[in-house]
Amino acid sequence: MLATFVAPYFSDNAKLFLHHLTCQEGARVALITQDDLAALPHELRAKLARAVRVVDALATDAIVGGVQEIVRHEGKVERLLGVVEQIQVPLAQAREQLGLPGLRVEQANNFRDKTRMKDLLRAAGVPVAKHRLVTKTEEALRFAAEVGYPIVVKPPAGAASQTTYRADDEASLRKALTPTSVAAGGVVLLEEFVTGDEHSFDAFVRGGQVVFYSVSDYHPTPLEVMQNPWMQWVVVLPREHEADDIARAGQETLKVLGLDDGMCHLEWFRRADGSVVVSEVAARPPGAQIPTLISRAHDVDCVGAWARLSLFDAFEPFPTRKFATGAAYLRGQGEGRVRAVHGVRAVERDLAGLITDRRLPQPNQEKSKSYEGEGFILVRHADTRVVEQALKHVVSTVRVELG
């Protein structure tokens, strides 16, 4: 089995998934990237069958050309994989041109185009927020008059709440339209602002059926964190079993959009009345350390399970969840680069035995553009309340100084 993994840049997430692919017995892995290969750790480069550098690894033609070069040197490629949100449609286009299995273009567009996604889900009876695609300010104002403020302003194919804003009145709506429109090439997606608790539904799918899912709790919502730089973001995976209603909604969502095999990352809300509203879903594994949280909660290798499913269409059931887990994301205040990190020793002392993983911000590190911040600390315990209190302690104690 020869598989090709496309990683435009060597992010920590890309290196994690590439590492697990290369560890699977019976698989050889090639790489397509636009990044400097010297930035990939030597021990990981040594495991690759071949690495091809292209000018634009997000471009379908470049991916196809890279695979063809790999075939000339290494033989038949049987899988074409990638975990970046923005690459899912180009990957699907390349698969169709090359005759490779995996997510097709129509299904990839169902996930990537958020307006199309919501239209399909609404037509199938899956609860989603009211929405409209607009190109003119007048259209945006009419939508706001129909649904009322606040509303959400975002690109139709956005990811990780980037260029996404909350508009509370006409002035803030007009202000949000310009940067979002520029980012999306003149088109803006408007959505009803859903109030409630936000969660994720992260699932393995095999043969069109959800074979495992995990629900995460967001505190606060990613949009709130992006709009308030002083806020610290926390994700909790409770030990308790998740509710059946989101499992049903998640299964129906994936059936409508067409994910047959792989992982998904679905974000959803529970309103004050208990009802579920699906926000949006991506046909890729989750980021934000959620795979590691799942691994720690179940004492399994979540990313390894994704690799085996992606390569061999195989999935072994996970054991019952043993722990609650959670992540505190360390966000610097203000602007500039990281100068210092305060409070870590106190947290390590107070939470001895609870911390499972950490990545601390490093001196001179650039400020992150994401709500995930410059680092993280992960914790676990058999009692969900202990995890929640530990995370509160981390975000109230650790301070990332920028300057």
Tokens standing for 162? 């980037």
Q: Which helix (H) or strand (E) holds 280?
A: strand 276-282
In the predicted structure, residue 181 carries a pLDDT above the cut 70: no
- Number of Cβ within 10 Å of residue 168's Cβ equals 12
pLDDT tens for residues 224-281?
777 777 778 899 999 987 678 999 999 999 999 999 999 999 999 998 899 999 988 9
In the chain, residues under CATH classification 3.30.470.20 are: 197-402
Tokens standing for 67? 């695979």
> d(Cα 87, Cα 108) in Å, to the nearest integer?
10
In the chain, residues under CATH classification 3.40.50.20 are: 2-102
Tokens standing for 370? 């994401």
In the chain, residues under CATH classification 3.30.1490.20 are: 130-192
> d(Cα 161, Cα 192) in Å, to the nearest integer?
15
Crossing angle for the helix pair 105-112 and 114-123, nearest 10 degrees? 100
Class of domain 130-192: alpha beta
Tokens standing for 159? 């990811």
Tokens standing for 186? 């003149």
Helices (H), 23-59: 42-45
Helix (H), strand (E) counts: the chain: 14, 19
Class of domain 2-102: alpha beta
CATH of the domain spanning 197-402 = 3.30.470.20
In the predicted structure, residue 371 carries a pLDDT above the cut 80: no
DSSP letter assigned to residue 300: S
pLDDT value for 159? 53
| Nearest alpha-carbon partner for 29 in 67, 85, 83, 86 | 67
Give the distance from CA 298 to its chain's centroid. Answer: 20
pLDDT band at 368 (very low <50, low <70, confident <90, very high): confident
Q: How far is CA 110 from CA 116, 176, 277, in A?
A: 6, 25, 18
C-alpha atoms less than 13 angstroms from C-alpha of 343 in its C-beta half-sphere: 13
